[in-house]
Structure 1
Amino acid sequence: MIIEIILYEDRYKADFKRLNLEWLDKYHLTESHDLMVLNDPRGTILDRGGIIYLAVVADEVVGSAALMKEEEGVYELAKMAVTPEWQGKGISRLLIDQCLETARLWKATKITLFSNSQLKTALQLYEKYGFRHVKVEHSPFTTADVKMELELGVAVGKS
């Protein structure tokens, strides 16, 4: 089984939406902000300085993760999803690794994420990567009762 991590293209829009609605609907977390992003990933993520990665196995899109630019040097890890039949096979780790590598290339100093306390496996994974729980503030989601941050250090050229 070869898992490829590829860049999002518009032809994968339906896959990106399907993957994320799969888990959002399962946990009754789908909100208007999710739909806005999933219906227009180019306008809400890519055109604003972000990036989307997809995990592909034998031409099937089985996972996604995005970096959404919040401000200079700060990105949100968002729209992290792996279809149920492919969970537990390391795909989330591959996606997070790719996002963190990109964030470091972009000289990001901090990665944030919003989640929900129901998502125990995801939260444990984020904690393994060094994400720390912080007060939930400035969330675009009413169901996000968890906010985490990962400090990447000071960007080059800044004190």
Structure 2
Amino acid sequence: MEIVSYHPKYNQAFYDLNIEWLETFFYVEDYDGEVLSKPDKYIISKGGHIFFAIENDIVLGTVALMKESQASFELTKMAVLPNQRGNKIGQQLMQHCIDFAKKEGFDRLFLYSNTKLENAIYIYRKYGFTEISVEPNSPYDRSNIKMELILV
């Protein structure tokens, strides 16, 4: 398996993986559908990054870093093929994002999640993310926890 940077040829996999994950665990919000269907517009052109875990030309998983400010990025849109969950692909994608963020000189990463995703919250804490307050105008209705990783 290798982790590669964004290429438009993976747009459908980015969309499909995330929609499947959202439909399995929550529901697709309007904001999700818009961002997922136009990653060039909402992530890449605004200075963000998308990574893909690829093996034998199959996209096993994906994750995005959405730019909030020059040195602050949201770790978001992480999804792994259902038959690949439990193989630590998500953890490898997370480590890749952390390493990338440090190399690029980012100050922090943050994420939104939901406490019902106990395994995910455990993994975020394992990688050093700590809980902070969720702002009242959070972009996700389903989110009830916000976490950050300070990199400086």
TM-score > 0.5 by shorter chain: yes
Q: Confirm or deny: 8 A CA contact 2:65 2:76 kept in the other structure.
A: yes
Match of 1:75 in 2: 73
CA drift at 1:29: 3.1
Q: Confirm or deny: 8 A CA contact 2:18 2:78 kept in the other structure.
A: yes
Correspondences of 1:1-159 after superposition (within 5 Å): 3-137=1-135, 138-153=137-152
**What's the secondary structure of 2:11's corresponding residue?**
helix
Which consecutive segments of 4 or more residues in structure 1 shift more than 6 A? none
TM-score between the two structures when normalised by the length of structure 1: 0.91
**What's the secondary structure of 1:136's corresponding residue?**
coil
TM-score between the two structures when normalised by the length of structure 2: 0.95
Aligned residue type for 1:19: L
**What's the secondary structure of 1:66's corresponding residue?**
strand
CA drift at 1:68: 0.7
Aligned residue type for 2:151: L
Aligned residue type for 1:60: I
Give the CA RMSD over aligned residues: 1.0
Please, which runs of 5 or more residues in structure 2 have no aligned partner? none
CA drift at 1:28: 2.2
Aligned residue type for 1:100: I
Q: Confirm or deny: 8 A CA contact 1:45 1:68 kept in the other structure.
A: yes
Aligned partners of 1:122 and 1:22: how far apart in 2? 17
Aligned partners of 1:135 and 1:90: how far apart in 2? 28
Q: Confirm or deny: 8 A CA contact 1:27 1:118 kept in the other structure.
A: no
Aligned partners of 2:143 and 2:27: how far apart in 1? 8
Q: Confirm or deny: 8 A CA contact 1:111 1:151 kept in the other structure.
A: yes
Please, which runs of 5 or more residues in structure 1 have no aligned partner? 154-159
Aligned length: 151
